[in-house]
Each structure stands twice: as structure tokens, then as C-alpha cells.
Amino acid sequence: MRIISKTIYSQANTSLPDPELDIGEVLFLDIATTGIRRADSRVFLIGCICRQQDEWQLTQWFDDTGLEEKNVLSSFLIFCSRFKYVISYNGNRFDLPFLRVRIELNGLQEAAAGFLSMSSIDLYGYIAPYRHLLSLPDYRQQTVEAAMGTGRTALTDGKELVEIYKKYIALPSSGLMEKLTLQNEADVTGLLSLLPLSAFSHLEELDVTVRRAQANYYTNHEGKKAEELLIQFTLPFSLPTRIYAGLDHCYLKIDGEQGILKIPLYTEEMKYFYANYKDYYYLPGEDMAIHKYIASYVDRNRRVPARPETCYTRKTSSYLPQWDLYQTPFFKRKYEDREIFFEFTDKIKKDRAALSDYASYVLRHIIFRKSEK
């Protein structure tokens, strides 16, 4: 077994997801294995970064014979016993369960008490619910780092590393060992650059401030003139990657803390349907419903009992979409339609707080994809 230790230098913003954490109690972790099956694959390389005396210290444990997994694990467990938190990328699904199984199979449960009690912070977990907003080809660590512009260049993938390790065991060389350790070093060092991913957790408390709102005319895909509400807003936090997303003809772009929403605006006649239709008459000639206490002044030949689908009044105005009862009264085009709208009144247009609240509502709809089934 070889133990490699050296100081590394990082320009990354290393603000921890929880500002109350003590950086001295945090361990950044990445492992390399001979396969993905925990029962019959082995850990051949463990890499860790921690803060020591105002410097980042990298420590790696490398099984250079193919027979020293137990020694690698034992030495690692002794080292990590003084830490309370472990930070990884996708570690909750791979690294940590893999280590737990290999620790058990090597009979090291007693020595692993400190490691097993560590709290895990998985950076992948911050973006997992929002992958549809990033639209990346995959969500491997290197891909996410590239999207964040960390400067990381693509290195060897996991399968290639296994082949390199097999070659190393068959014929050891410093060149092959360097390929293996440098890949692990890049992965564990890259965790520092991925710390800003924790900003995605703030999307659950979404509250935006509208900077500007205006109506905009454009030509849609059918070549017809259409109208939209263009909202420029500011988030109370900054996201580390750009976001482009759309849902139900609404479109979103976020770059850092600045965002733009495009929401369809409909200027047309819509209908307000009364719920208590049995209290109304429908006037076919006027195409509207009136309450029975007024209907006594209308000729009987001009009125019929209202049905749910005819119990409405009509209004031509500007309307915005909603997907639940965000704003009342709500309007429809037809009784059977599932799409509902509310009137975009002059009062709302002049109310910055109301526009900010609606922008937050639309953002939540897009981000959490409420219309998905």
C-alpha cells in the first residue's frame, strides 16, 4: 500500500452548504474501485481532502499490489475518525455504501465506528430534483463541473480506470500509477468547485423580485401574431449554472441571480362560469346568464334555465394563465376546458409586489413541473 500526501491549491469558493459547519471537521471523499458490484469488487484507491493549518491537504491510499484492500481501508478509517462530516458527489448512492460493504467483508466494523457515524453531504443531491432544468447529457461529476465552468478538462472515465489498474497490477509503472492517482485527485479536488451546487436548495423557498415587466408581441410557430408578458426578475441567491426551461408555453432563463420569464398573455373574450347555475337563467339571444331575481323582468320566451355549461358571463380583456386557484375570479374559454386564467388588470400591472408574487408562482410551476403526470 502506498500513502500519498500533499498540499493542494484551489481557487474555488469553498463556502460550505451549512455556514455553521466547522471546516476542520469536514472530509471530502472520492474512491476508485475495480467494479460496481460491492460484494466482489474491491476499493483500490481512496482520496480525501481536508483543511489543515489554513491549507488543503490531499491524502490518498493506493493498493499497489491488488491484495491490500484491508490495509487501505484500515489506514483510511484511522485517518477519518476525527471528522464529523463527509462531502462527496453521488456518494450516498455509490461511495459510502460501497465502503460500508467492503468494511464489513474485511471485518473492520469495530474500527469503522467513527466513519459510520459521519454525517453525509452529497452534492449531487442538491441538483438531482432539478436535472430537467439543466438539460445536461449526463450528470457525472466531470459533466457538471464543465457546465459550471470550473476549468476541469475531461479525464479518464471509471471503466478505463479499471483497465489501467489491471495493467498496473500486471506490470507496475510510475506512469500508470500517476494516471490513477491524478484522476482521483481531480475528482476529489473538484468537490471544492461543486460546493456552490448547494444554492439549488434555495429553490424550495423561491421568492423573486420583479425588476421590469412589459407586454411583448411576437410571431409564434404557426406564423400568427401572439402576445407575452416578459418579466425580468432577481433571485435572492445566485445559481452556479445557467437554467433554461419551459412548461405550458411559459419559458424561463436564469443566469446567476438574474432571470427572465416569458408568459403567454391572451387578449380575447373569455367566460366566467357561475357555480350555482340553478339560480340562473340563460339568455340565448344575449349569450349570457342572469340571476333569477333579475330574470323576472325578462320575457319568458327569451330565457331558459341555465345549465352548468351555459351559466356564464363574457368579458373581453387580457388574461394570464394559472394552474390552480391562484387568483379569483377565474375564466375559461369553454366550460369543459381544463385551462384556467385570471384577468391581468391595470391594478396588477402597477403592483410590483403582485407581479413578483405571480412570477414566483410561475417559477414554482416550471421548476417543480406541477403539470406532469
What integer pLDDT is reported at residue 329 of this predicted model?
A: 96
CA-based nearest residue to 301, from 281, 317, 277, 320: 281
Comparing C-alpha atoms, which of 136, 142, 31 is closest to residue 94? 31
Q: What is the pLDDT of residue 154?
A: 62
The domain limits of the chain are 2-202, 266-343
Model pLDDT, residue 297? 84
Residues 46 and 51: their CA atoms lie apart, in Å, by: 17
β-strands 340-343, 119-122 pairing: unpaired
pLDDT attached to residue 45? 98
| Residue 252 pLDDT | 95
CA atoms of 1 and 181, how far apart (whole Å): 13
Give 3-state DSSP helix, strand, coil % of the chain, rounded to 5. 35, 30, 35
Q: In sequence order, which residues have a C-beta less than 8 Å from that of residue 214 and are 6 or more positions away?
A: 229, 230
Total count of residues recorded for the chain = 373
Q: What pLDDT, on a 0 to 100 scale, did the predictor assign at position 291?
A: 94
Which pLDDT value is given to residue 322?
97
Task: Note whether 16 and 27 are within 8 A (CB).
Answer: no
pLDDT of residue 223: 81
Beta bridge partners of 219: 225
Q: How many CB atoms lie within 10 A of CB 105?
A: 15
Measured on CA atoms in the order 183, 185, 187, 193, is the torsion positive or negative? negative
CATH architecture of 2-202: 2-Layer Sandwich (3.30)
Question: What does the alpha-carbon distance between residue 312 and residue 289 come to, in Å, rounded to a whole number?
Answer: 5
d(CA 241, CA 137): 15
**Tens place of pLDDT per residue across the chain (373 aa):** 999 999 998 877 788 999 889 999 999 999 999 999 999 999 999 999 999 888 999 999 999 999 999 999 999 999 998 999 999 999 999 999 999 999 999 999 999 999 999 999 999 999 999 998 998 999 999 999 999 988 776 666 778 999 999 999 999 999 999 999 999 999 999 999 999 999 999 998 888 999 999 999 888 777 888 899 999 999 999 999 999 999 999 999 999 999 999 999 999 999 999 999 999 999 999 999 999 988 878 888 999 999 999 999 999 999 999 999 999 999 999 999 999 999 999 999 999 999 999 999 999 999 987 544 3
